[in-house]
């Protein structure tokens, strides 16, 4: 296989945002998710030492790992090892890989899928290797599984296609492209997440177990709301999308997945002029999205004043 050792290779991938239907999707209802204008990039260059992977913004001090070929411990090292192999490179290839970007890490914005895809794209370019769509999706899923156990496939499918997708998870996962009537001006804010997606899902499952009929009615309503959301996205009706964000957030609150910081974020965004706001992803902290076509800067500033990180992005 030809290798371009004297060149720097690069790969990039966007993050994702769930617009409607998180949690209800676990119970067979539809969800809508889209690729973000912000993402991660991987740069790959020849190294005088063995392979290393640096993620300068990981945690407070950054992270630097070598490939880990064992099936236990050090998830990032294992992910690096799988990525090298799937890109057609030996685990000893002397490369220095740096993954960085503007996507917040670990708050439900698809950072592990974006990490997997950017890394694979960078390493494949370095190796002079091309994976077809199926191979790329499989490799991304294998890497994401190292972090998440059993990912639904939604994240890496959105990240790979860069599209807005209507997703259902019944006997098989189905995806349909949704053509947006116009791009969405979104302010994204985030804070630390309490626990993992898996914990948020299992705690909701325990609540549902005590009153299944009541919760299933709630999930069905969230499913119908996602259908309204799809039509509003297709027609580009921003007022309607904003109203549906607010309603979806109310349902998520009713499910018990909205924590106090999520409530403060959506209220701050609405007070600053957003058309609507909701948490996105698993909740219990993490990220919120606000539709802010008129004065996004004011919404960003209001969220920052309230103590959150925030950025403006467009879903196109």
The residues that are catalytic are 155
Taking the C-alpha atoms of residue 276 and residue 227, their distance in angstroms, rounded to an integer, is: 17
Pairwise CA distance, residues 5 & 74, whole Å: 27
- Binding to ligand PMV in span 170-199, by CB under 6 A: 197
SS3 232: helix
In the bound state with ligand PMV, the residue whose beta carbon lies nearer, of 158 and 187, is 158
Q: Please compute Rg for the chain using Cα positions.
A: 20
Q: Which member of 23, 78, 86, 96 binds ligand PMV (CB under 6 A)?
A: 23
Number of Cβ within 10 Å of residue 30's Cβ equals: 23
The correct pick among 47, 98, 129, 152 for binding ligand PMV (CB under 6 A) is 152
Q: Which is nearer to ligand PMV, 201 or 301 (CB)?
A: 201
State the nearest-atom distance from the C-beta of 267 to ligand PMV, in Å. 21
Nearest residue to the partner ligand PMV, using Cβ: 281
Residue numbers 48-87 binding ligand PMV by CB under 6 A = none
Helix axis angle, 238-255 to 212-235, nearest 10°? 160
Part in contact with ligand PMV (CB under 6 A); list of ranges 18-26, 56-64, 77-85, 235-243? 18-26
* Cβ atoms of residues 26 and 119 within 8 Å: no
Q: Which of 9, 19, 20, 22: binder of ligand PMV (CB under 6 A)?
A: 22
Assigned token pair, 72:
């236990």
Asked if 25 touches ligand PMV (CB under 6 A), the answer is yes
Contact 296, 187 (CB under 8 A): yes
CB of 110 to ligand PMV, least distance (A): 6
Asked whether position 254 contacts ligand PMV by CB under 6 A, the answer is no
- With CB under 6 A, what is the number of residues at the site for ligand PMV? 10
CA separation for the pair 252, 111 (Å, rounded): 22
Q: Which stretch binds ligand PMV (CB under 6 A): 17-25, 46-54, 63-71, 93-101?
A: 17-25
Answer yes or no: are the C-beta atoms of 12 and 40 closer than 8 Å. yes
| 19 touching ligand PMV, by CB under 6 A | no
Give yes or no for residue 226 binding ligand PMV (CB under 6 A).
no
DSSP H helices, 176-305, are: 197-210, 212-235, 238-255, 260-271, 296-305
Q: Hey, what are 288's tokens?
A: 């919120």
96 vs 93: CA distance, rounded Å: 9
Q: Does 10 bind ligand PMV (CB under 6 A)?
A: no
Asked if residue 282 binds ligand PMV (CB under 6 A), the reply is yes
List interacting residues with ligand PMV (CB under 6 A).
22-23, 25-26, 108, 152, 197, 201, 281-282
């Amino acid at each position: 296989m030809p290798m371009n050792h004297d060149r720097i290779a690069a790969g990039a991938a966007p993050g994702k945002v769930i617009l409607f239907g998180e949690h209800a999707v676990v119970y067979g209802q539809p969800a809508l998710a889209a690729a973000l204008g912000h993402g991660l990039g991987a740069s790959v260059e020849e190294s005088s030492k063995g392979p290393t992977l640096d993620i300068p913004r990981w945690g407070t001090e950054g992270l630097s790992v070598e490939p880990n070929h064992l099936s236990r411990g050090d998830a990032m090292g294992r992910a690096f090892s799988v990525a090298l192999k799937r890109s057609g490179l030996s685990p000893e290839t002397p490369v220095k890989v740096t993954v960085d970007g503007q996507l917040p890490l670990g708050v439900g914005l698809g950072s592990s899928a974006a990490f997997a895809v950017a890394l694979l794209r960078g390493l494949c370019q370095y190796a002079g290797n091309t994976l077809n769509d199926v191979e790329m999706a499989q490799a991304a899923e294998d890497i994401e599984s190292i972090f998440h156990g059993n990912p639904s496939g939604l994240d890496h499918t959105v990240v790979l296609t860069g599209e807005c997708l209507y997703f259902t998870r019944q006997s098989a996962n189905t995806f349909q492209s949704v053509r947006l009537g116009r791009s969405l001006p979104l302010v994204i804010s985030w804070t630390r997440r309490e626990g993992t997606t898996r914990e948020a899902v299992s705690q909701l499952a325990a609540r549902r177990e005590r009153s299944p009929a009541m919760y299933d009615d709630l999930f069905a309503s969230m499913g119908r709301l996602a259908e309204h959301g799809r039509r509003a996205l297709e027609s580009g009706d921003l007022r309607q999308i904003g109203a549906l964000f607010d309603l979806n957030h109310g349902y998520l609150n009713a499910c018990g997945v909205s924590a106090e910081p999520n409530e403060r974020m959506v209220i701050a965004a609405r007070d600053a002029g957003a058309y609507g706001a909701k948490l996105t992803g698993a909740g219990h902290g993490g990220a919120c999205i606000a539709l802010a076509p008129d004065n996004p800067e004011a919404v960003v500033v209001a969220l920052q004043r309230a103590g959150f990180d925030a950025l403006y992005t467009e879903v196109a």
